[in-house]
Amino acid sequence: MTAPATPLEQRLAAHLQQLYPERDAAGLARECLQRLGLAADTPSPAPHRNLWDQSDIMVITYGDSLRSDSEPPLRTLSGFLEARLQDCISSVHILPFFPYSSDDGFSVMDYTTVNPSLGDWDDITAISRQFKVMGDLVINHCSSRSLWFENYRAGLEPGAGYFVEVPSEADLGAVVRPRTSPLLREVKTPGGERHVWCTFSHDQVDLDFRNPRVLLEFLGIIRLYLDRGIRWFRLDAVAFLWKIPGTPCINLPETHEVIRLLRLLIEHHSPDAVIVTETNIPNRENLTYFGNANEAHLIYNFSLPPLLINALVSGSCKHLKSWLMTMPPAQYGTAYLNFIASHDGVGLRPAEGLLSDWELQTLISTMQRFGGRVSSRTTAGGESCPYEINISLWDALRGTNARGPDQWQFARFLCAAAIMAALEGVPAYYIHSLVATGNDQARVDNTGSFRSINRHIWRSEDLEAALDSDSHHHRVFEAMRRLLRLRRRQPAFHPNATQYTLHTGEALFSFWRQSIDRRQSIFAIHNVSDQPQSVSLSELNLILTDQWLDLTSGETFENHLAQITLMPYQFLWLTNQSP
């Protein structure tokens, strides 16, 4: 006699029934639990738990962003993080560290092995003992040189039914594409010629989650990552996961169902685990990946990079402020992941509807003037249009639209970092932003990929020398470390603390944060222009009985009616309580 299904089995079966209505959902639920090593009676974690606080700051890096001749890159990275950033960050996102065939790691050949050129699993586990580690679950596609795809071409398992096949004559006109390459690739199989789906490139073949065997494979991979100390999971390109010809094949209901299913299983296995969805799409669509606090714990704030950079090079925060006012506060148990720069470029789709075509073109032209490149995508109508700007953040903030490069690069750069640190959400800083790495044009010439411009590889000895010398790298890095240490001590900067946008004109980007216990308030005021700007403290409605302190300078303000002038790109964090 079959035992009654537990609450976990029932919930899991409900998700599976939506995805695979022709399958035995109860039996498949038991297989899922077995793959993840979960008991059917595992208790559910409490809902709406904040698994983060104001001390949580992430660094984004490749496993070999730093290289040394004397040790594997992951060990070099570990040493750098411990020696230089131990008191500044809590988490590290190590970009794909697996054997790969292209796209700097995002064309995975083997999900179960660390790339030997980087190190091994012991190196990953060692880093996880010091920091929270976020790993990439490259879930939409795998390498054409993977065992799965080789088996597919030979008609063998595992792999024979793992990839999306469509007839060459299928109606794919509505499919949303992030690239300009042909969507389908011809492949010879024992059953004849087939056309497989390739959203990103012909070396990155899309996996078919309509086959539950693919889901089970990834549950086994997730279990391995959990066993090795990874607790944060970045679901790469997950918006494209489910394909139905005749639809846009992005943000489909089945994709959200898969995320809910993964969330259910992962948080039952490890209640401290976190799911982050990487969905480089317009803002309104991006917000749907929170679900009802039952999908992603964190979503990337993809609109922030283009809007913040635009504000700082145009001298106007009009669009940045308008966007911030429309952003709903994240429910407890969810949060925004804020970033300005990453291994990819500055996405332009998240700015759609927020910046006009003229403003986008002005931004693009300015970034090209500062050495940037522009990658394109193909629209549903078959036209090519800008998709992302490829540039290092240090060079992106070299000057302004109107005047070009100027003397305010350092101040502008630090202002950008401060805005991100103060906003609602968890801030994530790219390692090349922390050390102010410039455009790597030589790497672009070598690889032929525009994204290589912001994927410089430092010899660790050279970086250490630069950070210990009188260089802009040293100046930026020390300023960033001070800023991050300061941010980590402020309860009002908890990722879920209250936030209100203030109206202080187009040149001053200002907002108010209040700690969850309501004891600390911070008025964050940032001059985003290259001209001095004044603000009256009376405009901020400071509580007259409190003494107010600028955390960034230590200056106190007893005259609550005082007029304050901020120099170009200067910022103030005014608080009534300094921990």
Q: Which residues are catalytic?
A: 236
- Exposure on the CB side of residue 45, measured as CA atoms within 13 A: 19
What does each C-alpha distance from 141 to 198, 343, 436 come to in angstroms?
Answer: 8, 19, 32
Q: How far apart are CA 539 and CA 534, in angstroms?
A: 11
Residue 100 and residue 104: Cα distance in Å, rounded? 7
Element (H, E) at 137: strand 132-137
C-alpha–C-alpha distance, residues 276 and 259, integer Å: 10
Spatial contact of 369 and 330, defined as CB atoms under 8 Å apart: no
| Residue-wise DSSP of 290-302 | GTTTTS-SEEE-T
How far apart are alpha carbons 147 and 111 in whole angstroms?
A: 10
Sign of CA dihedral 460, 450, 238, 138: negative
**Angle at CA of residue 475, ends 471 and 476, nearest 5°:** 115
To which H or E segment does residue 522 belong? Answer: strand 521-527
Contact 277, 235 (CB under 8 A): yes
User: Tokens 């309580």 correspond to what residue?
Assistant: 577
Torsion sign over Cα 206, 167, 23, 12: positive
- Tally of CB atoms within 10 A around 563: 11
Amino acid in the structure at residue 494: H
Burial class (CB in 10 A: 0-12, 13-18, 19+), 287: middle
Please give the Cα distance from 11 to 14 (Å, whole number): 5
